[in-house]
Structure 1
Amino acid sequence: MAEEKPHCKVVLANSIAKSLLEEVHDGLKKIDRKPLLVGFLSSADPAARVYAEWTGKTCNENGFAFELREVDRELLEDAIIDANNDAKVDGIIVYYPIFGNRQDQYLQQIVDVSKDVEGLSHRYIFNMYQNIRFLDEHNQKKSLLPCTPLAVIKILEYLRIYNTILPYGNRLHGRTVTVINRSEVVGRPLAALLANDGACVYSVDIEDVQQFHRGEGLRKRRHEVVEKPGWTLENCLPLSDVVISGVPGDKYKVPLNLLREGAVCINFSSERNFSPEVKEKASIYVPAIGKVTIVVLLRNLLVSKR
């Protein structure tokens, strides 16, 4: 009798987004008008345009107002400042990459903190890495997190990888996670957030592997980073019960022979980083996260208005 293939559950972003949308709809009921989100598109990147169109569609379907402003990149700085000063604008999103260098980082800092729904301003980034979860001393105003890393966290919560029996902030204790890609926009923040929640995280980039963790028994309040000289995916993947990959381009594939049996696999690249055979080894596979990212954006907009 042929041996049965293990059953892998493929979870689509749409299903996860629906459960988050209920929370967003409840938040909207407490506001007496449609919040206005303004998107700035100054990039020829086709993925940026797709993201902008998705944002508009999701806003319009869910009771938000959305305005896409296509601006020459040399005029973008002034356009952001104008939106900062416009009382009608509740939130601002800029579709990157624009210049593809440090100028993009500068533009992220121009967006007013009260309108930064992407969680990219210095105050939010500092709080994220320091594991400071609120903006005020009374813990009333939550510090926002960047949309894509937060979307991955919401997916892990939905999949019950977070252990809700444990105290808030320690719910990934005992989990080992590999994050492939250490970009400043997604990969590194995601590794830090997962480690701050108690996981042992291996952050893998082209050059090297770093371990993010809070020490034995979660002694530290925030994560620390340890270099792992000579380590590669061969060392990390067999140890990891969760593998999250976001390498851009269609060439890269996660080596399935190194995957732990029954691992949870999540792809956050616009291309598929896992070949279809991943379903023969993984217990859960999430092939894309884009729709969750956009709902998280709306959630951030509501949180910033409270």
Structure 2
Amino acid sequence: MSAEKPAALDGAPACKTILASSVAKPYVEEVKKGIQQLGRRPKLVGFLANTDPAARMYAEWTGKTFEDTGFSFELREVNKEELEDYIFHANEDDSVDGIMIYFPVFGNRQDQYLQQVVSKDKDVEGLSHVYIQNLYHNVRYLDDTKTNKSILPCTPLALIKILEFLGVYNMVLPYGNRLYGKTVTIINRSEIVGRPLAALLANDGAVVYSFDIDSVQKFTRGEGLKFRHHRVTDVDIKLEDVAQHSDVIITGVPSESYKFPTRLIKDGAVCVNFSTAKNFNMDVKTKASLYVASVGKVTITMLMRNLIRLINNKASKNLV
């Protein structure tokens, strides 16, 4: 199947499988130029405080990809009870440009606390409450002069970039309105990916149906001065009632046993899976026009991009 950028969607053409590497390529080049302009190797420190094989695999992959691209990467394996102190130390270390934690650590709300321990100036994953609040309130800059862009969580940002690449965003429309008329179904409402993704898409004009284990929420963009960002309402609706009318279906269920019902896919829809498990059967290609089976390479590239942005934001603040 072709991995080239497709033509504009019109009807239901034969399905193309799009590789994440094709989407990531221009952003990798952007990152390399950013490193050249800095004139040094930016340093990312990753903290591993668990024995989860998947976390270790992600850490090793992150390290190799960052090193190959021109960054310096250091994996620090620490006891989870001492992790907070190590994060504080890295926050104060001027040689460290970015910090990330490989979760789960405690597997509970304490992990959410650890996300906030990381300095927002070094938070490559965009999980600081400052960035999350900006995301949900549709605030795209950190300053009034609009020179320093806020950091977005890397996987939701990766999914946005994939949809832009696929032509789902209408670039003719004004910025912030480029998903007008689009309906999106998301099977995932995690605080890390599903919920922020739904908010981002709604803020850009889409109607988004967010499916969790036991509930469905509808995300829409508010209108007028009172609502400058999305609104969320609980809805009593079934998957089959919305999926067959959705222009985009995004899945992120961490289970090999879950498969999105192919019969519910609208002819010509765009289907994207961000789970490590494959949430679509192979016959997805009989209904979808564009299919992205995994997004990991784009996510890693967004981590790199976020790190360059953090460094530039810090430099900009120091000039003031």
- Which TM-score tier does this pair reach, normalised by the shorter chain? over 0.9
* Aligned residue identity for 1:130: H
Q: CA deviation at 1:219?
A: 9.1
**Aligned positions of 1:204-223 closer than 5 A:** 204-215=211-222, 220-223=227-230
Q: Report the counterpart of residue 280 of structure 2 in structure 1.
A: 274
| Equivalent position amino acid for 1:26 in 2 | K
Give the aligned partner of residue 245 of structure 2. 239
User: Are residues 1:50 and 2:57 paired?
Assistant: yes
**Whole-angstrom CA distance in 1 between matches of 2:212 and 2:224:** 27
Do the aligned partners of 1:117 and 1:301 also contact (CA within 8 Å) in 2?
Answer: yes
C-alpha distance after superposition, 1:177-215 (max 9, x if no partner): 011110111100000011011111000111111110114
Higher mean C-alpha displacement, 133-142 vs 207-216 = 207-216
1:71 and 1:26 map into 2 onto residues whose CA distance is 33
1:43 CA displacement: 2.1
1 CA distance for matches of 2:183 and 2:44? 37
Could you tell me how far apart the structure 2 residues matched to 1:207 and 1:283 are?
Answer: 30
Give the equivalent residue in structure 1 for 2:166: 159
Could you tell me how far apart the structure 2 residues matched to 1:129 and 1:215 are?
Answer: 12
Bigger mean CA deviation after superposition, 122-131 or 11-20 = 11-20
- What is the Cα deviation at residue 154 of structure 1? 0.8
Secondary structure in 1 aligned to 2:64? helix
* CA distance 1:156–1:75, change in 2 (3 Å): same
Alpha-carbon displacement from aligned partner over 1:78-117 (angstroms, at most 9, x marks no partner): 1111100100000001111111110000000000010001
Alpha-carbon deviations, 1:109-141, whole Å to 9, x = none?
A: 000010001000100000000000000010011
Q: Name the counterpart of 2:142.
A: 135
Normalising by the residue count of structure 2, what TM-score does the alignment of the two structures yield? 0.91
Aligned length: 301
- Distance across 2 between alignment mates of 1:83 and 1:215: 40
Q: Secondary structure at the match of 1:30?
A: helix
Could you tell me which amino acid in structure 2 is paired with residue 256 of structure 1?
A: T
- Residue in 2 that maps onto 1:170: 177
User: CA contact under 8 A between 1:212 and 1:224: conserved in structure 2?
Assistant: yes
CA distance in 2, matches of 1:45, 1:130: 34
Q: In 2 relative to 1, CA 302–174 (structure 1 residues): closer, same or farther, beyond 3 Å?
A: same
Number of the residue aligned with 2:209: 202
Q: Counterpart in 1 of 2:109?
A: 102
- Cα shift at 1:225: 0.3
CA distance in 1, matches of 2:44, 2:232: 36
What secondary structure does 2:37 align onto?
Answer: coil
Match of 2:291 in 1: 285
Amino acid at match of 2:138: N
Q: 2:268 aligns with which of 257, 262, 267?
A: 262
Give the secondary-structure state (helix, strand or coil) at the position aligned to 2:38.
coil
**C-alpha root-mean-square deviation of aligned residues, in Å?**
1.5
Question: What is residue 39 of structure 1 aligned with on the other side?
Answer: 46
Equivalent-residue separation in structure 2 for 1:269 and 1:227 (angstroms) = 24
Whole-Å Cα distance in 2 between the matches of residues 246 and 109 of structure 1?
Answer: 24
Q: Secondary structure at the match of 1:266?
A: strand
Structure-2 residue corresponding to 1:295: 301
Which consecutive unaligned segments of at least 5 residues does structure 2 have? 1-11, 313-320
* AA at the equivalent of 2:252: G
Shift of 1:282: 0.5
TM-score (norm 1): 0.95
Q: Partner residue of 2:122?
A: 115
Q: Output the CA distance in 2 between the equivalents of 1:256 and 1:225.
A: 27
| Conservation of the 8 A alpha-carbon contact between 2:222 and 2:228 | no
Aligned mates of 2:247, 2:224 — CA distance in 1 = 19
User: Which residue type is aligned with residue 121 of structure 1?
Assistant: S
Cα deviation 1:123-181 (Å, max 9, x = unaligned): 00000000000000100111000001000001111111111111111111111101111
- Give yes or no for the alignment of 1:150 onto 2:157: yes
CA contact (8 A) 2:222 2:229 kept: no
**Cα deviation, residue 6, structure 1:** 5.8
Tell me how far apart the structure 2 counterparts of residues 279 and 228 of structure 1 sit (CA, whole Å).
30
Matched-pair identity in %: 61
Q: Is the Cα–Cα contact under 8 Å of residues 6 and 281 in structure 1 kept in the other structure?
A: no
